[in-house]
Structure 1
């Protein structure tokens, strides 16, 4: 979230590039299932994509749906808010994750300097009582060891791939229920935390973020606690608004109610032995080697064997599914990439063939042989592929070499293949994807974050560090 200047014009194209870029960043962060390429001289489709993102945001906040970066839209974008995406279904995170137990533990590992420890503990306990008052959930604070909800106050980059942005922007964010980082709740230490209407009221923000940590997404009801922008209300005698109460009770039930008794139960069924499950890749293994990875519709997909992990945002948890459920007819992929635009296209490669996919539907006439892309006959498998948005080039990695494909001219660039190590300081690449302006290249269990515009390595880390593992 950023503070932006207000302009009265209704024409997006007449606004300064800086303001359009800030709006693009807002849409990418908080409406991440919408294409949000910034408009400019590139193409009409990029402008349409940007305006579609604006319409989605305007519809969510109940303001005039113009598709233009007008003053009312800029006003909403300037408000202090939660850092969790606004894109979710029915007010819950995807697949409605929740805790499968009634007692939830929480622990504060780093306190804010703006308040005493007792004040922080009191505000957090009061925020959690909003939920225990209306559901069977109980919350217990612990002071050592791992807890379900790990709470911290940190500024800027703090280890979860989503740094805070300084005062008066993104106030906090939290992960949905689940393993690893699931339930963890982070507050921006650059804010001035208080228990009053001045500064930022910790009780109100904590109550909102704990809603995420328990499974609630953002609400479009402006009076709801889970509305994404910060709004101060009197906290004395505060209770969950109806929209939030109905949402949390739909996940966990109503406090004090017992299940209906079974009437005239029939004979107990004979036990059926559980089927032997097929092995599922361990996403948290330090030895995890990825088959492929890509950002598709602003969602990260990581492929291994017959499965893929999907992470829509860094707080929505990790989902694992069979590849065949996503793309019927494809069991495994060696490389995958998205060519974004008005009609986004995904290319999935396995062995000597590739598929073209739009809206998760394989297009007629596929698979086709790799030679149709311009590969020589000796290339029987692609290890990794990534499309670079800024250049409209796709890089294909094969053993210790790589090719560059010009998507505008539909042909391989001259002068390729080249040795990977000469340009990327790696001997081979197993998976590759672009995310938030950086190139990520996996080799074995390690991954390199690469600034390809400046031609330098930023850092290296394990593949599993994307997977919400503690």
Structure 2
């Protein structure tokens, strides 16, 4: 399992492996029993039918119809396949929302993170898709996104297997990417079974950060329990003491509600709390467990004016108990002890942190110094003397050659 998913092979259920195992995932085995050598089962014809046997009460029926139709269109746009919905009788692919034991020898009463499964092409139950009705289905990033899960499961109905590419739609754990779900690997896989589309589509641009990439930038950076996390898109690069290679992971490996990525983050180590920001919302966690009552809006919980729509960067100074929030060209200072904004703010970044520039992408504190990131550069800043000490390449925290 560790080798399949690109984890460090330890032979033990370590923290990274356990985090992966806890992710919401598909119930189809990673190494499918229906794979025949290098070949998989596939439909002998390219015009397929599907039928919705019932609906989830979580969404209006019209929304479910549109979502399922989009899931099939995704695959037809990438291959020679076509799909027709039928409303009675037997279809190639039967779709249903079920609970517990539903007479297919794959009950949903097992692991809580199994939320759907599908069967490979074939007669009878072959090709059918089952969604666990005990889960809450949505059209957005909350709970379980029906479109993303349906698109993944239809991939199995067409004969595709799981792969170890964290960017791929056919990765066993679900990562929400918006509308354009298919990577080049997904497109190549479906075309190998059914041929090319007459109207080729563009694959989703790779969002996985590469530690030593020259054009690398970050959305947020924070220390969490002694480890540095560099966040980009829906992923993070992690460095540990004496291990600076930049281990890659999906944010949802540890923080499932943050499937859309984050704008800013900071840790209050004395309380073992870490805060994540996206748009006007804030999430609070103790390690990987979300605190009760979150997410909250930044207006009532922190006191920001409604003119602030998102946070660019944040950093907590343990020495003073103050947290700095950076928004466009201004910054706020928050007192973690009184849980209130300090008076006299916001102020201009140029006044409080001269030389940094008018905008901050990310910032964290290390050994009393602030490290500001803007574009492809980082600035080591002394908050006591208010001076820039060094300008560094953005990936200097990783073991990269020619930094």
TM-score (norm 1): 0.42
Tell me which protein shows more helix as a share of its residues: 1
Q: Which has the higher strand share?
A: 2
TM-score with structure 2 setting the length: 0.49
